[in-house]
């Protein structure tokens, strides 16, 4: 997969000669539209050695902005030895992966739902980095393959070893498995478990507590007098 940034792009190919004598080979690009220009490249590779060969491909400015599939062909003399698929992608640049999240707090356990969308024309192998230390137990797939244009939903169970007394920000990163390039990132808030206590201590409840304390004090005074 190659995404050119100009009208002419260089395609680097490595050819290895495992024979005990030198070999003359020819490389060419095939399968692309006729107005895509690429000259053949012929090189002499010494025995038991490898050589990097650069092929140039000139793309017309009026080419349709889409992906083009073709081949790199390897010849020895007039015989085709092997051909390798190659994609020239002229599609408008978009984020390879986009994501959205929702999180729920149930009985001190957090349930995170992640929506992942592959916007590219190739399968993306990704890893999920939650940015949390070892005091959190995370259940769910952290390595995922997403097919081209596929949209999937993954669910995760996050359990802190101690009750959260204040909100915790989770820095979620979606990375390329091979290069660790960050495709997408999002901040997720794990809310503290103090909400239940705060909910209980509403003005109405505080009033009842104060009233109960007054009654209790009055009863103590009455019993003391008796």
- Whether 41 and 26 have beta carbons less than 8 Å apart is answered as yes
Indicate whether 72 and 107 sit together in one domain.
no
Q: What is the DSSP string of 107-126?
A: TTEEEEEEEEEE-SSS-EEE
- 226 in any annotated domain: no
Q: What is the pLDDT of residue 5?
A: 62
What CATH number is given to the structural domain containing 81? 2.60.40.10
Q: What is the pLDDT of residue 89?
A: 86
Q: What is the pLDDT of residue 196?
A: 45
- Whether 29 and 10 have beta carbons less than 8 Å apart is answered as no
- Tens of each residue's pLDDT in the chain, 226 residues: 677 766 888 899 999 999 999 999 999 999 999 999 999 999 999 999 999 999 999 999 899 988 899 999 999 989 999 999 999 988 777 788 999 999 999 878 999 999 999 998 889 999 999 999 989 999 999 999 999 999 999 999 999 988 888 899 999 999 999 889 999 999 999 998 765 444 444 445 555 566 666 766 666 566 666 5
Q: Give me the domain span that covers residue 46.
A: 8-89
Indicate whether 85 and 107 sit together in one domain.
no
Dist. CA 8–CA 55, nearest whole Å: 10
Q: What is the pLDDT of residue 197?
A: 45
Pairing type for strands 67-76 and 79-89 reads antiparallel
Domain count for the chain:
2
Q: End of a domain among 56, 89, 122?
A: 89
Q: What is the pLDDT of residue 211?
A: 62
- 45 in any annotated domain: yes
Dist. CA 225–CA 216, nearest whole Å: 15
- 207 in any annotated domain: no
Q: What is the pLDDT of residue 226?
A: 56
Dist. CA 163–CA 165, nearest whole Å: 6
- 56 in any annotated domain: yes
Indicate whether 141 and 162 sit together in one domain.
yes
- 174 in any annotated domain: yes
First-to-last alpha carbon distance for the chain, in angstroms, is 93
């Amino acid at each position: 997969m190659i995404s050119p940034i100009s009208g002419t792009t260089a395609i680097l190919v490595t050819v290895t000669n495992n024979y005990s004598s030198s070999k003359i080979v020819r490389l060419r690009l095939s399968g692309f539209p006729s107005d895509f220009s690429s000259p053949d490249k012929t090189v002499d590779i010494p025995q038991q050695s490898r050589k990097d060969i650069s092929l140039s491909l000139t793309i017309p400015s009026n080419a349709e902005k889409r992906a083009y599939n073709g081949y790199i062909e390897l010849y020895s003399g007039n015989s085709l030895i092997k051909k390798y698929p190659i994609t020239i992608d002229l599609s408008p640049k978009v984020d390879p992966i986009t994501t959205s999240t929702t999180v729920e707090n149930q009985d001190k356990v957090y349930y995170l739902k992640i929506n992942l969308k592959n916007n590219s024309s190739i399968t993306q192998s990704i890893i999920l980095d939650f940015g949390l230390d070892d005091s959190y137990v995370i259940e769910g797939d952290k390595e995922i393959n997403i097919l081209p244009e596929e949209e999937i939903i993954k669910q995760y169970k996050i359990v802190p070893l101690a009750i959260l007394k204040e909100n915790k920000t989770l820095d979620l990163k979606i990375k390329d498995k091979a290069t660790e390039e960050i495709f997408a990132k999002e901040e997720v808030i794990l809310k503290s478990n103090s909400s239940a206590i705060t909910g209980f201590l509403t003005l109405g409840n505080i009033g009842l507590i104060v009233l109960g304390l007054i009654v209790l004090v009055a009863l103590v005074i009455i019993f003391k007098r008796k």
